[in-house]
Amino acid sequence: RFQTESEEFMKYSIKVTEAKNQEGNVKGFATLVFGDSFKITNIAILENREKDSLFVSMPRYKSSERDENGGTIYKDVCNPITAEFRKELYDNILEAFEQVKASDGQEFKTEKGEMEMPEFSVTVTPYEREGSNIRGLARVYFEDNFIVNNVSILQGKDKLFVAMPSYKTKQTDEQGKAVYQDVCYPVTKEFREKLYTEIVNQYEIAKSKKEEQALGSAKNQAQSQAKDQFMKADGKDLPFR
């Protein structure tokens, strides 16, 4: 593992390991942590054999969309927003990987001081489907440099709760059901409470706005229908006055 920190953008650390099987195009994996508070896993380091170079691939999910040939479209669960931060982050990941390779897998660490909790903002789209307990989908923006998609707001028995993006593992539980693992998630209890509280609060705000818009639209439609009825008599249109 190799760990590094960013000075130019928000504080983060990287840990890199080599893939056990080096025969495929997956050469390694990276884990990214923002300010000791939020972790992103399953970042792949892949080989482009045609160009004889390595590149970084963020964790992805299978969407319901199809391409021109009917193939499945995969989308990033999370990714850098700006070109500048993407270049810095991916360069650091690849540099860390090269140092791990040069050391034959030896573990590398750098001493670091206390890292501040990252700043973030949240947007939520209320979303309901019959027979589903999903109430909304959220996006989390870390200091306008990095976005996490597919965060779900779910209805529990007594209250709403937040579910981070996850993937299906090969493991099963005691009942034989598939075990899911979070792709990215808060590391500390303090940050988890802060993040999840903000997500639920933003959901409530977005839900209220959506209900107000629906009420206003229904009111306008009712007024329009009342005017149409007022302008007609015995099935004939009356001149507007």
Whole-angstrom distance, CA of residue 117 vs CA of residue 29: 24
Residue-wise pLDDT tens digits, 137-164? 999 999 999 999 999 999 988 899 999 9
Compare 18 and 240 and report the one with higher pLDDT: 18
Residue 74 has pLDDT above 70, yes or no: yes
Whole-angstrom distance, CA of residue 110 vs CA of residue 105: 16
Residue 112 has pLDDT above 50, yes or no: no
Q: Are 120 and 160 in contact (CB under 8 A)?
A: no
- Write down the pLDDT at residue 11: 85
User: For the whole model, what pTM was predicted?
Assistant: 0.80
**Is 64 exposed, middle or buried (CB count within 10 Å of its CB: 0-12, 13-18, 19+)?**
exposed
Mean pLDDT along residues 108-128: 74
Residue 185's pLDDT band (boundaries 50, 70, 90)?
very high
Q: Of 44, 40, 39, 49, which Cα lies nearest the Cα of 18?
A: 44
Whole-angstrom distance, CA of residue 212 vs CA of residue 47: 51
Whole-angstrom distance, CA of residue 31 vs CA of residue 41: 5
